[in-house]
Amino acid sequence: MTRQKVKLAFITNDSARKATYKKRKKGLMKKVNELSTLCGIDACAIIYSPYEAQPEIWPNNIGVQHVIARFKRIPEMERSKNMLNQESFIRKQVTKTNEQLKKQMKENREKEMTEVMYQCLTGKGSIENLTLPDLKDLGELVDQTLKDISRRIESLKIVSPNEAAAAAPPLPQAVVGGSSSSMVVDNVSGRDEMQRGTQTTQWFTDWMNNPSEQNLGLGPNRIWPHPFFPDC
Amino acid sequence: MHRPSKGRKKIEMKRINNMSSLLVAFSKSHSGLFKMASEMCTLCGVEMEIIVFSPTKTVFLFGHPSVQTIIDRYLKQNLPPNRYLKQNLPPSARTSQLEQRYCNTKTQELNLQLTNLLAQLEAEKKTSEELNMIRKARQESFWWDSPIENLGVEQLEKLKVMMLNLKNNSINQAEKIVMAEAANLTEVLCMCGSTWLGGIGPSV
C-alpha cells in the first residue's frame, strides 16, 4: 500500500472522498476485529455515512446492542471518564505529542552540547561564540562528565590499584579554549536553557551571584590573579 | 519513508496468550483505532462511534459528534422507517450539510496544531539521528572522545585536566559576556538619563 501524506482536512472532491471513505472504513472494521480477537474483548463500531441509509456496523446488530447494553449498565459517573469526542481526542493527541517533542528536544540539546564540549576540548571549536545559556549548559555537562570520570577512576583503582595505565596514544596539543581556530559549532542556536531545575550547577550559580568567589574548587590550572578582579 | 522501529510481524489471529503482551497490545491498538476514527471523521465528514471494553473491564469510547447522539440514533433506528427518511437527502444538500458540520473551527485548529507538532517531532528525530552519526564518527577518531568506560586510569586523569581547563575557560568567557552586557547597559542608561534631563550635558 502506497503511503501518501494526506492533509488532515475535509476532502472536498466528492469521488476522492467516497473512495477514501470506502478504503478507510474497511481498514477500521478490520482493526476493530483484530483488537477484539487478539485481546479477547467486547467492542463495536457504528458509522453513519451519506452513502448508505443504514449505518455500517461491526460486528453485527446483536453484537452492537450487547456492547451498548453493557455500557449502559455502567453507572453514570464511571461512564464519562473515558468518553471522547473528536475535539477532546485530538486535544489529548496534541498534549501527548507536545510532551514527546519536548523530550526529544531536550535529548537533542544534550547531544549537541556533548559535541560542543568535545570540539572545544580538542580546539576544533571555540567557546567565544557561545551564548550565556550555552555556557551554562556546557558547564553543567562538563561537571557531570568530571563526576563520571572521577567515579570511573575510583572504580578502576579499586579493581587493581597497581595496574599500569593502558598505553595511551600521543597526548593532544594543549589547545583548550580561546583559540582562534575556525568555529565549527556556529550552528549552536541560542535555544532556551535546559530545564534542569534543582540540578543547576552550584559553582556556576555561586559564581553568577558573586564573581569574586575564590573557592570554586578549580584544578591545578587556575588563572589567578583574576584579570577582572585584580584586587581579589 | 524510513521507519526503523516499525516492524510488521505476522501475528496469529487469536487471543494473545501472555497477559502482559495482551495489555500492551490493547493499550497501543485502541488509541490507534480512535486515531483512525478521528481522521476518517475529518477527511470524510462521517459520524461514528467506537466502544471498546479493555481487558481490565474499563470502557473507552470515541463518538463524533458525540457518544450519546450516535447511540441514541442507532437505538432509534428500530422505529418505523419515516423516522430516518429525512436522512435521505439529495447528494448536494448532504455534502453542504456535512461541510457545515465539519466547519467546527476548534477541531480544525486542533488538527492544524497536531499536524505542526508532528512535523516538528519528525524534524527533531531526524536531528537526533544526525547527531548520533556525528558522535559515532567522532568517537572513532580520537582517544579522548571514546566513551569513558574505554579509557585507562592515566588517560582519564589527562582527560580530567582537560575538562577542568575547559571549565575554567567557560567561567571566564561567561564573565566577559556579563561584564560587557553590564557596560552596555550603563552606557545606555547614561544616554537615556541625559536625554531625559533635557540634554543637560553628558552625565557621570
Chain A positions touching B56 (Cβ under 8 A) are none
CA distances from B50 to B30, B68, B75, B114 (A): 10, 11, 15, 22
Q: By CA distance, what is B154's nearest residue in A?
A: A165
- Statement: residue A8 has pLDDT above 70: yes
| B143 or B131, which is more confident | B131
Burial of A6 (0-12, 13-18, 19+ CB in 10 A): exposed
User: Do residues B73 and B62 lie in contact, with contact meaning Cβ atoms separated by under 8 Å?
Assistant: no
**Residue ranges of domains in chain A:** 14-79, 102-157, 197-232
User: What's the grid cell of residue B175?
Assistant: 564573565
pLDDT in tens, B160-190: 898 898 898 888 888 888 888 888 888 888 8
Ranking A47-61, A74-88, A207-221, B10-24 by mean pLDDT, the lowest is A207-221
Question: Would you list the DSSP string of chain B?
Answer: ---TT-------SS--SSHHHHHHHHHHHHHHHHHHHHHHHHHH--EEEEEEE-TTS-EEEEEES-HHHHHHHHHHTTS-GGGGGGG---HHHHHHHHHHHH--HHHHHHHHHHHHHHHHHHHHHHHHHHHHHHHHHHHTT-GGGS-GGG--HHHHHHHHHHHHHHHHHHHHHHHHHHHHHHHHHHHHHHHHHHHHTTS-S---
Interface test with A, best of B21, B52, B76, B104 (most A CBs within 10 A): B52
Chain A positions touching B41 (Cβ under 8 A) are 86
Longest distance between any two alpha carbons in chain B, whole Å: 94
- Tell whether ipTM is more than 0.85: no
Which of B115, B143, B177 faces A132 most closely, judged by CB atoms?
B177
CA distances from A184 to A116, A118, A129, A138, B141 (A): 9, 11, 10, 16, 17
User: What's the grid cell of residue A202?
Assistant: 552550584
User: Do residues A125 and A175 lie in contact, with contact meaning Cβ atoms separated by under 8 Å?
Assistant: no
Q: Phi/psi at B52 (nearest 5 deg)?
A: -135, 135
Which of B53, B106, B112 faces A87 most closely, judged by CB atoms?
B106
**A14-79 CATH:** 3.40.1810.10
pLDDT in tens, B71-116: 999 988 754 444 444 455 555 555 555 555 555 778 888 999 999 9
pLDDT in tens, B18-50: 899 999 999 889 889 999 999 999 999 999 999
User: What's the grid cell of residue A113?
Assistant: 552540547
